[in-house]
Every structure is written in C-alpha cells, then in structure tokens.
C-alpha cells in the first residue's frame, strides 16, 4: 500500500506542477486540462497489474510537466499570433520562437527594436509641444546628427523639421508599428510552419493565410 500512496503523491505532484506551468491560460481551461491529464493517468494505471511501473510509464510518455505545459502554451500562442493582428500576440509568439534558437532570437530582437523605435517616434512627436527647443532633427554631419530629444538645446538654425516633426513622427511611428506587426505575422506563418511540427499539418492542409 505504501507504494500506491507514494505513486499517488507523485501523480498529484505532476498535476500541480502542470497547473502551475499552465498559468497564463484561462482558469477554466487549466482546470479542464488538469482534470483531463489526471484522468488519463488514472485510466492508464487502473487496469494494470503493476500500477507503479505503468504510472511511471505514463508520466514518462507525457514528458516533463513544464515541457507539456510549454507545448500547450506554444499551441495557444501560435494559434493567436498567426491569426491575429495584435502586436502583443505576435510578439509573444516570437518570444516563444526566440527561446528555441538563434534565428528566432534575432527576429525577436528585431521585433523589440522595431516596436521600441515606433514608440520612441510617437513619444518624440508628443514631447515637441512641451519642449519645443529640445525636440527636433539637427543635421550637421559629421559633428552632429540628432533626431529626437537633445539635452542642452543645439543651435536652432541647424534644426530641419520644425513643427513638422509632430505629424511626421506620429505617421512614421504608426506605420512602423503596423508594418512590424505585419512583418512578424508573415514570418511566423512562413517559418513557424517548419519549426513546430504540429503546425506543419496546417500549412500542408492549405492555410488561406499563407502567402
């Protein structure tokens, strides 16, 4: 009986580790997944002559709870990132990709840099009315090329844009933001199909979204 108890504890521990690693999905979704996996393990063990070894076999087949949870999360995030137009979903999907290799990491860094620049451009435009002399585009190479916010205000005669920096900054920032989302979404559709084996079926089955 001691063995059974220890096995039971091990299963409990597996399921609670899985639950913890699944946080981020909806609560009822996590409940359903935990109940389903719990039931799966129990049913595999039920009819067996040697419950301990069959329990161990199921846990092994399921893999590390964290890895299993990662597969759930990747599937969920990917489905949203590939379908959606939301920058957050796209960037989240790319972040998962970044953890798998150098190529993904580079794309992720490019994504962060792109969104960061977009935010900076809009922010710069919004600051212009408050600090008119400190925000601008000073062009006097090679000593000075500044776009954005400068500390001690440089010579106003070298400033090229004036108040045009407000609409130009907003438009450039928004275009970059939208362009970034489109580009990352396209990359996800194009390359993730080959990175995540589960996704290959989608691509082969005639994904209308694919270019």
- If the CB atoms of residues 50 and 66 are measured against other proteins, the closer one turns out to be 66
Q: Which is nearer to other proteins, 39 or 167 (CB)?
A: 39
Report how far residue 60's alpha carbon sits from residue 28's, in angstroms, rounded to the nearest whole number. Answer: 26
Nearest distance, CB of residue 77 and other proteins, angstroms: 10
CB of 173 vs other proteins, minimal distance in Å: 33
- Contact between 101 and other proteins (CB under 8 A)? no
Nearest-angstrom CA–CA distance, 110 and 91:
11
Give least dist CB 53 to other proteins, A: 17
Torsions phi, psi of 128, nearest 5?
A: -55, -45
From the number of C-beta atoms within 10 Å of its C-beta (0-12, 13-18, 19+), residue 104 rates as: buried
Residues 90 and 184 sit within 8 Å (Cβ to Cβ): yes
Q: Per CB under 8 A, does 106 bind other proteins?
A: no
Concatenate the DSSP letters of all residues of 152-200 into one string: S---GGGB--GGGHHHHHHHHHHHHHHHHHHHHHHHIIIIIHHHSHHHH
The stretch among 68-76, 105-113, 155-163, 177-185 that binds other proteins (CB under 8 A) is 68-76
* Residues numbered 21-60 forming contacts with other proteins, rule: CB under 8 A: 29, 32-33, 35-40, 42-44, 46, 58
CA distance 203 to 49: 43
Instruction: Give the CB-side neighbour count of residue 148, counting CA atoms within 13 A.
Output: 12
Q: Which is nearer to other proteins, 59 or 90 (CB)?
A: 59
> Nearer to other proteins by C-beta: 160 or 198?
198
By CB under 8 A, tell whether 113 contacts other proteins. no
For other proteins, the binding residues in 147-206 under the rule CB under 8 A are: 197-198, 200-202, 204-206
Shortest CB 205 distance to other proteins, Å: 4
Instruction: Show the DSSP H helices in the chain as ranges.
Output: 2-21, 27-46, 51-62, 65-83, 87-98, 102-127, 165-187, 193-195, 197-204
End-to-end Cα spacing for the chain: 59
When the beta carbons of 46 and 155 are compared against other proteins, the nearer one is 46
Total residues at interface with other proteins (CB under 8 A): 34
Q: Which residues bind other proteins (CB under 8 A)?
A: 29, 32-33, 35-40, 42-44, 46, 58, 61-63, 67-68, 71-72, 74-76, 78-79, 197-198, 200-202, 204-206
């Amino acid at each position: 009986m001691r063995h059974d108890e220890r096995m039971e504890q091990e299963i409990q521990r597996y399921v609670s580790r899985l639950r913890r690693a699944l946080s981020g999905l909806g609560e009822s979704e996590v409940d359903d997944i935990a109940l389903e996996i719990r039931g799966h393990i129990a049913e595999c063990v039920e009819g067996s002559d040697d419950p301990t070894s069959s329990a161990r076999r199921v846990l092994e087949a399921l893999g590390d709870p964290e890895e299993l949870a990662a597969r759930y999360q990747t599937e969920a995030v990917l489905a949203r990132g590939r379908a959606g137009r939301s920058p957050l979903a796209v960037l989240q999907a790319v972040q998962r990709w970044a953890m798998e290799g150098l190529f993904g990491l580079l794309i992720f860094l490019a994504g962060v840099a792109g969104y960061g620049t977009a935010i900076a451009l809009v922010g710069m435009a919004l600051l212009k009315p408050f600090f008119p002399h400190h925000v601008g585009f000073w062009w006097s190479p090679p000593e000075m090329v500044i776009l954005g916010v400068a500390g001690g205000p440089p010579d106003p005669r070298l400033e090229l844009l004036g108040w045009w920096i407000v609409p130009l900054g907003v438009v450039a920032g928004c275009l970059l933001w939208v362009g970034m989302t489109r580009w990352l979404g396209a990359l996800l559709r194009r390359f993730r199909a080959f990175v995540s084996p589960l996704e290959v079926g989608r691509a082969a089955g005639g994904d209308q979204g694919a270019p």
